[in-house]
Amino acid sequence: MQATLLGKIFSISNLLISCIVSTSRSSFLNDTLQAFSAFLS
């Protein structure tokens, strides 16, 4: 159950990151990835 939930979360996150990559500056992307990494750790 938890594994599939994590899978869905990562799928949604990848989709959001793809949108961010195509619409934002790399500096904003880096901040987002750092915040996301900090959230996961």
This model's pTM is above 0.85: no
Residue 31, helix vs strand vs coil: helix
* Domains in the chain, number: 1
Residue 28, helix vs strand vs coil: helix
pLDDT value of position 39:
85
* CA gap 34, 27 in Å, rounded: 11
Cβ-based neighbours of 33, under 8 Å, separated by 6 or more: 17
Question: Over the stretch 1-41, which tens digit does the pLDDT of each residue have?
Answer: 677 988 898 999 988 888 777 776 667 777 888 888 888 87
Among residues 28, 2, 3, the alpha carbon closest in space to that of 16 is found at 28
Range of the domain at 30: 5-40
pLDDT value of position 24:
62
Among residues 39, 38, 19, the alpha carbon closest in space to that of 29 is found at 19
